[in-house]
Structure 1
Amino acid sequence: MALVPFEWKNKPALIEHLFPVQKISAETFKERMASHGQLLVSLGAYWKGRKPLILNKACILGSLLPATENPLKDLEIFELLMGIDGESMQRRIQANIPVSKKDTVGNFLVLPYAERVRNAKRPEEIGDSLFIHVWSRVNDHLGTSATSFPELIEQIGVARFGRRPKVADVFSGAGQIPFEAARLGCDVYASDLNPIACMLTWGGFNIVGASKEKRIEIDKDQNNIAQQVQKEIDALDIETDGNGWRAKVFLYCVEIICPESGWKVPLIPSFIVSNSYRVIAELVPVPTEKRYDVNIRYIDNNEELEEAQLGTVQNGDVVHSPDGVTQYRINIKTIRGDYKEGKGNRNRLRLWEKSDFIPQTNDIFQERLYCVQWLKKKTNGSKYDYEFRSVTQEDLVREKKVIDYVGEHLEEWQKKGYVPDMLIEAGDKTDEPIRTRGWTHWHHLFNPRQLLFLYLTNKYTKAEEKYNLFQCMNHLSKLTRWRPQAGGGGGSAGTFDNQALNTLYNYPVRATASIENILANVHSSYELDPTVTTTVNSHPADEVNVENDIYITDPPYGDAVKYEEITEFFIAWLRKNPPAEFAHWNWDSRRSLAIKGEDEGFRRGMVLAYRKMAQKMPDNGIQILMFTHQSGAIWADMANIIWASGLQVTAAWYVVTETDSALRQGANIKGTIILILRKRHQELETFRDDLGWEIEEAVKEQVESLMGLDKKVRVQSFEGLYTDADLQMAGYAAALKVLTAYSRIDGKEMVTEAEAPRQKGRKSFVDELIEFAVQTAVQFLVPVGFEKAEWQKLQAIERFYLKMVDMEHQGAKTLDNYQNFGKAFKVHHFDQLISDTSKSNSARLKLSTEFKGTLMSGDAEFARTPLRALLYALFELSKEVEVDDVLLHLMENCSNYLPNKTLLSKMADYLAEKREGLKSTKTFRSDVEASCARVLAEAIRNQRL
């Protein structure tokens, strides 16, 4: 029997009851590690803040599927639809290993889930064929008749909302959430304040999601544009040497006059041009003109390559020696003329004018071409020969031709909107090019050759090709780094290789032969269901004016990249002349309207946005709010925002979404909190004194429910669903669910309290309630082997250490777990207990042999605690101190030894159990720790006093 409209109207969503976070985390990590292999990255790799598609799919399905009285069956169906069940995993592994090793699939299937995922293809890489086996079981459980995701989504959407579900994201960013919703078969509304974000979202629907016929047309157009641009460049004769060689890369550097010697000095941080080709640049003094020629030379020994690592820029100083004897060293700040004026920093740099595109002759920083890499197709195939050469007089003639041509046409190009004439507005990131170079307009960030190429490309491209224009811009600015160590003799990193606008002393300019592959880049493809409707608008989040059933949002938060500033780099190029498809958007970053940071403006903007979303969804609508759990302040802010918006928390989950990256400086790995929200329909009132037992009951019920499900899953599989970190998050959610259900607490209107501005150094009423709720949740998570009264008797840092011992036993290794539990247990210096805080994916507690005699006394949190005394006793046992002496020292180090004797033996038993079976290494002898703990536990119990 088919589902009828609104049959599930009031049924709870699956994501409010269960969510296999460990598997979703592993899948999410797998997708993030795919880097440029991710489906939408080809549209704009410069946008870094993407929530993985697999996570978005899990959230959308979890919001639509019902939670029934059979949670094991619910989980089975969810895993089938996610492609994370056993049979799907087998197919994914088979698709990823060579045919010759197909008989080894069974070996992979017994590995932990995270290991299986590493050896498997991602579900999206296989496509719809992965799900052929799921539909009969899905339909039997749900009462549907689907054979595809769009059919399933339509049917369960009707059952819940009376129509195909409408999913909205009003902070769409790169469009990951809207695209996944459309791919599943939902109607979609997407918006963002930033037109570049809207453009990326539109591209997901209309390029990656285009029909096969449309994609053929787009790809053909892109190739034609590349050919047309090359034709016009060739007509100018500025990239060939007349002997069959074509330029690949031009290398430029800044040049200054040394104020001490009067010499012109090229600023080249490293003289290595190419590691693999063994090419270096060397300065050749020209004393009569007080300048240097730059000679490009191939070398044949490692010593010279090593010597060439240091150039003329060393630790912020310009260093040069015209005669090889006298060395001049002067700081760049001195050359720039830096000085203080009031609270601001100033310098003597001339501010460039709109008509400028090269330095004027009296500018402090000049620019010069110092090397060219050439390529020539070999006669016997498609491969190329490459050469690095010094700059010749002919090269300088061609260089002048480019400068003259751009100078003649720049004003015209700017009037027509093909080249920017937009001012750089001061800001946290945009101050950098103004301060360090005097560049005041966005076109100043581009070399004349780059301006010419980008003008031609912008002139010829339609909406669908602007994405490749922007990718070219990312690789064609004076902010791109030359990488001598890259393949092919060297390569360039994109402008947004980091999320800043840092100026450089030397930079590459890719010639047409080196950039046309990006201009003609073929994007990923996943044809969307043509019946799905997609709408993209550019407006503030609080101006959404259409009703949607599900809102899934990943809003900006405290540590967010400042896209409202750095995307002006792109906005400037389309501001005057956007394609018709994008013309109705406001081509301005509208920085003042952007929700950002952690201040009162951030909170007010978020409240307005989420209150409007609550108003623009049906009574049974659902919201999923994602945010990175970096600081306790933002967690409290989110609770305030939810309360003030008329919403209520119904569940929360924690998923690891970030990979190790140089951008995050190692230890800053983060996960994502996923909050499930509903409208708060009733005006309920309570008192804080009554909240304690209610929160404790809710936490207990939630945690026991998940632990019960976890045990059932472990019976069927050798892995469970949840770790203590997941249970902790579920406890938070249960506590917040209780809190946010109330409109008045202790006679206070919670919306008013939540909207009240924060007072520096003072906790608000809401902060106190959140802290109380969190502590109640944490206290409930008592490890097996301890009584609740015993557990609460321990110091916070002892509870933290013991809890993390259990986490390590479960296989948790990421530093964010330690950070999260440290905050939850109110441990101020948990890092003192960690062996190495620089490794975000392999953090661990110190063993007793690493503590040795440290943190025994003084003001340290761990000092003079029973657990610290116990760990010292273990250290002594590992050094083969007699057991009787160890017990004597334990009694001396542990105050109130007798009352703590039973607890000490329990802790020793606990450490023995949790350290047993862990992989030991030279620096992590968990086997020794476990053995000593067993001996000590027995000795304490048998001790006669």
Structure 2
Amino acid sequence: MLAPQQEQTLCLEAPPLKNTPALLERVFPAQKISAEAQKERKAGSGKTLTALGSYWKGRKPLILVRALILGSLLPATDDPETDLAIFEQLMALDEASFGRREPKLSAAQVAARITLPRPWDYFDYSFKDATVEPTKIEELTFPLRAGDIPGLSLRWKRAIPLADKQTLLAAALKELPYPDKVALCKRPEECDPATLYGPIWDSVNQHLGRFGVQAHSHEELVAQLGMLRFGHRPRVGDTFCGSGSIPFEAARLGCEVYASDLNPIACMLTWGALNIIGASPERRDEIAQAQQAVAAAVNQEITALGIEHNSQGDRAKAYLYCLETRCPETGWQVPLAPSWVISKTRQVYAKLIPNPREKRFEIDIVSGASPEEMAAAEQGTVQQGQMVYTLEGKTYRTSIKTLRGDYRDAQGVNRNRLRQWEKHDFRPQPEDVFQERLYSIQWITQETLGKSRQQTYFAPVTEEDRARERQVEQIVAENLASWQEQGLVPDMAIEPGKETTRLQRERGWRYWHQLFNARQLLISSLFCKHRHPVSAICLLKAADWNNRLCRWEPYWAKSQQVFYNQALNTFYNYGTRAYDMHMQAYDLPMRRSQTLDVSNYVEMLDCRSITAVADLWITDPPYGDAVHYHEITEFFIAWLRKNPPAPFNEWIWDSRRALAIQGASDKFRRDMVEAYQAMTEHMPDNGRQCVMFTHQDSRVWSDMAAIFWAAGLQVINAWYIATETSSELKKGGYVQGTVILLLGKRPPGQRAGFTPRLLPQVRKEVNAQIQDMMHLNARTQEQMGAPVFTDSDLQMAGYAAALKVLTGYTEINGEEVTRLALRPRRKGEKTVVSEMVQQAAATANSLLVPEGLPKATWEVISGIQRFYLRMVALETTGASKLDNYQNFAKTFRVDNYQAVMASLKPNRARLKGAQDFKPRELAGTEIGETLLGQVLVALQELLGEKEPPIVMDNLREALPDYFQQRPHLQAMAQFLGDQLAQRRPQEARAAEIIASRVRNERL
């Protein structure tokens, strides 16, 4: 590994590109990167680094990291169009690259999309019952749609050169919207680099040859650009390394890497990314052999104990457990589960059978059930926070809070009467409110053990099964203390916290090992005996999938991971994985490995104490709504705390909560300033920082800007990457977008400014920035048929331009900027940063006039009207992401934009049309009291079949200054008519009627 202080590369005294602006400072195809990042984010287990553990949810997409590094190294020349074209080739975002990204298009689909005069040079055909003679087919040209010739079947010629096929595939994709192309193709990292990037190097070298660049791979290019810009191979640092996305992608590009984090789990995952996913082929073989040896040893011990095989020789695959409690009304012991469905595809459910003699329920397992039985089984004994069950025709309901004995103490703290588990506890005691019960086992038939396609079945629990269960519990009871002493099982207490306190409140658990039942503790302890770095990573990965917080998923008929979201959710029933399924989570797929040949150094360190120097600091820091990793990673830390293998034994195995940067308080800002001051001091004068943060409100934006200001950094540019999700796990339309801030060192010397003089500078800078981008948009629209930047990009550029002006000063209004930035906030206070951002927004808004709407109208209408008309224009392009609406609502200062929305679904958002508004929504509301509101009322009336003269009379009566407002009424009505012509033709025709009557009306 490369220690931070070591220099191992030859340095140039005067690098030619030392002071040349980077491409990222001028242009960046943010919308294309957004689409690519979306595809990677949705890849699930197909993502490169999730093999190490998908429990770390904060990974930034690798393709975004790659874009930031290349964009920070490539020079911005006097030819921005070519700069952008070369960058897109290097990122495989250009038209030609899509043909090489292995699109999922059949020969017939290609034939229907392209014009081709000599198709039979590339395609073969066969036909059945065709009405066209073969000789006639030879005369056909493309495009040729399926069904034009009945029975015709097309296929690629076997001898067609690959380059020719890729050209045709690219042509077939050309007219599709960019996200559709991305959906049909592989991600760039999934493709063979030689095939994907081989054709680009001539044009890359031709464009960059003036600087002496001659490269034939990304690694060569990065090394040469680093030498030209910094005098050595570029060094990328990340002091909030998390799971290692930034260091890994930097190393994959050929940069030297420094990574640090305060959390040992983050450091371990980053180490794994660089040294396991990035291992050499020889090292990967060694890892695979070591893992196989561990698996074989554990399997041998479990088999010898006889705890997973029944008398027929079948082996368990999964065990299903539920809680059980006594009903205070009847005295019956009631099993608890929100649903008794076990497998939807096999129609399997658990059936409760009353046992009056013992006042409890037997549990039978029914397979091949009817739809009616399955529907009934969906209703479990836990419903809406209550225990619900029926006995002898009577339904009993008791609140779970009542069962727990919930109450609030004198200090207002929520408590209950659950017994608090002691360190030696791993199962409920007889007097506990909640007992635990094994109610079904999934078995693998003896005949299919070890085969790729296994036959399994679910069965009720027998006395033989219960005997094996008691055997496991006895083994754990006899060995728990010694296992904990050896560090094979956690003995660490659960500290109170936002996520961790609920474990004690809802179950009485006070130690981390209590989140694992006897079987889970036993199997994990066996794996834990084999200590090497890879097995440690796999141990924690498997623990995520095999614990008491793993919900049973009936659709897939298997247990899911605890960290499907970043919370510690308790369940009333859960699944336990036996050895066979446990190994699926423990296994470490090596197919995504890629050899990294550059120096890297990972250390566990407070970011404020770094000594390493980096040319580019790329960070994804904690911010106001950050995940509480310092709490939830204690789930994993507990397993390795006592006896971690080398090199992990060099780190402190503690979450170090007291040092974690968190929250959005004044202390948070001070901590962040110290962190970014440290990075600023440890980078060259021409170094850059790229900061990614996922924002949800404007206050976080203002805080982050103030932090960088106080850290001695100046904003150079900002870009916005959309990362929306429609996952049902993120309720309430929860949407995220990532802001990219590019920063450099503020020039030395004192510079004082005053708000009245700053405002004109802000307006001038914003205007110049947006005009340049709109000019580039117009040129690329003409040449390529699509603009580079959307309105969201232009907004962000406006903010960046304002902050570029602001952060260039060391004193504002007589106050030193560090003190100003760190001053405690008062509620409702308007800071200098927020004032400048608002000015930037106002300036940007004045330039973002929708095409087809007169500027004079745009300048006089209010924010809600601007929002509605701008979004009408955006919807015409097919945009439907909620993030766009949220951003524009902030831009136009519209607090209640939801009032004009017909849908708030993250990926299917849309405005209300005229007919979607209820009458009361257009009377006395923010939109209803505007000119646009009156136009919408008139549209409603026309669509409701009122006569046009009556509608116009109503419009004149509603507007006392009607004749002064006529030009704007006509402009908005005509704009709506033009924009809605394709999507809502009836409404468009009504709008045209209003525009025509207003325009032709005599005074």
TM-score (ref. length: structure 2): 0.90
Query: Contact 2:347 / 2:369 at 8 angstroms: preserved in 1?
Result: yes
Task: Using the TM superposition, give the Cα deviation of residue 314 of structure 1 relative to its aligned residue in structure 2, in angstroms.
Answer: 2.1
Task: Using the TM superposition, give the Cα deviation of residue 198 of structure 1 relative to its aligned residue in structure 2, in angstroms.
Answer: 0.9
Residue 906 of structure 1 aligns with an amino acid whose one-letter code is A
Task: Using the TM superposition, give the Cα deviation of residue 185 of structure 1 relative to its aligned residue in structure 2, in angstroms.
Answer: 0.4
Deviations 1:220-246 (A, max 9, x none): 211221111111011111000121211
Matched, 1:553 2:619: yes
Query: Contact 2:752 / 2:809 at 8 angstroms: preserved in 1?
Result: yes
State the partner residue of 1:64: 73
Query: Contact 1:699 / 1:780 at 8 angstroms: preserved in 2?
Result: no
Of the three residues 982, 985, 989, the one matched with 1:931 is 989
Residue 198 of structure 1 aligns with an amino acid whose one-letter code is C
Of the three residues 27, 36, 53, the one matched with 2:36 is 27
| Distance change (3 Å), C-alpha of 1:199 and 1:780 | same
| Distance change (3 Å), C-alpha of 1:100 and 1:5 | farther
Task: Using the TM superposition, give the Cα deviation of residue 502 of structure 1 relative to its aligned residue in structure 2, in angstroms.
Answer: 1.5
Query: Contact 2:854 / 2:971 at 8 angstroms: preserved in 1?
Result: no
Q: Aligned-residue CA RMSD in angstroms?
A: 1.9
State the partner residue of 2:157: none
| 3-state DSSP of counterpart to 2:709 | helix
CA distance in 1, matches of 2:647, 2:193: 31
CA distance in 1, matches of 2:868, 2:263: 45
Task: Using the TM superposition, give the Cα deviation of residue 99 of structure 1 relative to its aligned residue in structure 2, in angstroms.
Answer: 6.6
Task: Using the TM superposition, give the Cα deviation of residue 461 of structure 1 relative to its aligned residue in structure 2, in angstroms.
Answer: 4.0
| Aligned pairs for 1:101-500 within 5 A | 103=111, 105=169, 106-129=171-194, 130-143=196-209, 144-322=213-391, 324-341=392-409, 342-378=411-447, 382-486=452-556, 490-500=557-567
Task: Using the TM superposition, give the Cα deviation of residue 769 of structure 1 relative to its aligned residue in structure 2, in angstroms.
Answer: 3.4
State the partner residue of 2:759: 692
CA distance in 1, matches of 2:525, 2:551: 22
Task: Using the TM superposition, give the Cα deviation of residue 467 of structure 1 relative to its aligned residue in structure 2, in angstroms.
Answer: 2.3
Work out the number of aligned pairs and report it: 929
| Aligned pairs for 1:6-17 within 5 A | 6-17=15-26
CA distance in 2, matches of 1:813, 1:587: 45
| 3-state DSSP of counterpart to 1:460 | coil
Task: Using the TM superposition, give the Cα deviation of residue 100 of structure 1 relative to its aligned residue in structure 2, in angstroms.
Answer: 7.0
Query: Contact 1:192 / 1:538 at 8 angstroms: preserved in 2?
Result: yes
Task: Using the TM superposition, give the Cα deviation of residue 127 of structure 1 relative to its aligned residue in structure 2, in angstroms.
Answer: 3.0
Task: Using the TM superposition, give the Cα deviation of residue 189 of structure 1 relative to its aligned residue in structure 2, in angstroms.
Answer: 0.7
CA distance in 2, matches of 1:126, 1:597: 40
| 3-state DSSP of counterpart to 2:725 | coil
CA distance in 1, matches of 2:369, 2:692: 55
Query: Contact 1:32 / 1:659 at 8 angstroms: preserved in 2?
Result: no
Residue 331 of structure 1 aligns with an amino acid whose one-letter code is S
CA distance in 2, matches of 1:35, 1:511: 24
TM-score (ref. length: structure 1): 0.95
CA distance in 2, matches of 1:592, 1:568: 14
CA distance in 2, matches of 1:82, 1:112: 18
Of the three residues 680, 686, 704, the one matched with 1:620 is 686
Deviations 1:378-431 (A, max 9, x none): 379753332222211111111111111111111111111111000000001001
> Which 5+ residue runs of structure 2 have no aligned equivalent?
1-10, 114-168
| Distance change (3 Å), C-alpha of 1:382 and 1:64 | closer
State the partner residue of 1:753: 820
Query: Contact 2:614 / 2:682 at 8 angstroms: preserved in 1?
Result: yes
| 3-state DSSP of counterpart to 1:628 | strand
Matched, 1:876 2:945: no
CA distance in 1, matches of 2:993, 2:677: 60
CA distance in 2, matches of 1:607, 1:355: 44
Deviations 1:566-622 (A, max 9, x none): 111000000111111111111111112111222222211211111111111111110
Of the three residues 705, 708, 726, the one matched with 1:639 is 705
Query: Contact 2:763 / 2:839 at 8 angstroms: preserved in 1?
Result: no
Structure 1 stretch 755-764 or stretch 184-193: which is displaced more?
A: 755-764
Deviations 1:328-377 (A, max 9, x none): 32211111111110210111111111111111222121112111111114
State the partner residue of 1:843: 909
Deviations 1:115-159 (A, max 9, x none): 111111111110312100111111121121111111111100011
Residue 74 of structure 2 aligns with an amino acid whose one-letter code is L
CA distance in 1, matches of 2:677, 2:845: 30
CA distance in 2, matches of 1:202, 1:300: 49
| 3-state DSSP of counterpart to 1:760 | coil
Task: Using the TM superposition, give the Cα deviation of residue 109 of structure 1 relative to its aligned residue in structure 2, in angstroms.
Answer: 2.2
Query: Contact 1:864 / 1:894 at 8 angstroms: preserved in 2?
Result: no
CA distance in 2, matches of 1:269, 1:864: 49
Task: Using the TM superposition, give the Cα deviation of residue 811 of structure 1 relative to its aligned residue in structure 2, in angstroms.
Answer: 2.9
State the partner residue of 1:923: none
| Distance change (3 Å), C-alpha of 1:100 and 1:766 | closer
| Aligned pairs for 1:579-590 within 5 A | 579-590=645-656
Deviations 1:747-777 (A, max 9, x none): 2222211110111232234433333333333
Task: Using the TM superposition, give the Cα deviation of residue 801 of structure 1 relative to its aligned residue in structure 2, in angstroms.
Answer: 1.3
Matched, 1:665 2:731: yes
| 3-state DSSP of counterpart to 1:327 | strand
Of the three residues 62, 79, 94, the one matched with 1:53 is 62
Task: Using the TM superposition, give the Cα deviation of residue 298 of structure 1 relative to its aligned residue in structure 2, in angstroms.
Answer: 2.8
Task: Using the TM superposition, give the Cα deviation of residue 8 of structure 1 relative to its aligned residue in structure 2, in angstroms.
Answer: 0.5
CA distance in 2, matches of 1:652, 1:626: 10
Task: Using the TM superposition, give the Cα deviation of residue 657 of structure 1 relative to its aligned residue in structure 2, in angstroms.
Answer: 2.3
Deviations 1:491-549 (A, max 9, x none): 1111112221121111111111222222233234332342x111111122212211111
Matched, 1:701 2:759: no
CA distance in 2, matches of 1:174, 1:276: 35
| Aligned pairs for 1:489-568 within 5 A | 490-530=557-597, 532-568=598-634
CA distance in 2, matches of 1:793, 1:98: 53
State the partner residue of 2:800: 733
Residue 636 of structure 1 aligns with an amino acid whose one-letter code is S
| Aligned pairs for 1:65-80 within 5 A | 65-80=74-89
Structure 1 stretch 900-909 or stretch 847-856: which is displaced more?
A: 847-856
CA distance in 2, matches of 1:847, 1:102: 38
Residue 508 of structure 2 aligns with an amino acid whose one-letter code is G
Query: Contact 1:299 / 1:305 at 8 angstroms: preserved in 2?
Result: no
| Distance change (3 Å), C-alpha of 1:658 and 1:882 | closer
Deviations 1:781-839 (A, max 9, x none): 333455655423211111111221222223321111111111111111111111111x1
Query: Contact 2:540 / 2:639 at 8 angstroms: preserved in 1?
Result: no
